[in-house]
Amino acid sequence: MGKPLIAMLLAGALGLAGCAGFEAQDKPALSVEAQTALLQAEQDIKFAESRKADTTAARKSYQQAQEAAARGDEAAAIKHAWEASQAAVKSVK
């Protein structure tokens, strides 16, 4: 009786894993450039926060970058991520 139960659990897990993979494909894929810009902005904001800087403007631009990325608008995502990075760097100076 144990083997059929294990088989059912494995089949269910594989089915869920397949659905999760399918869901991820529904989101627009970002270019390496856009992903890098978003990651850089996030790191710049974290650095500025570690220096107790005011990152309000940087966070606002970063939020806009994330929203643009979710829409698949790479140009806007890169632009807002760059603005977020610049605002974070300026907040430290």
Reply yes or no on whether the pLDDT at 90 is more than 70.
yes
- pLDDT of res. 93: 85
Reply yes or no on whether the pLDDT at 31 is more than 80.
yes
Reply yes or no on whether the pLDDT at 1 is more than 50.
no
- The token pair at 20 is 């999760």
Contact 80, 64 (CB under 8 A): yes
Reply yes or no on whether the pLDDT at 3 is more than 60.
no
Domain residue spans of the chain: 1-29, 31-93
Q: Confirm whether pTM is higher than 0.85.
A: no
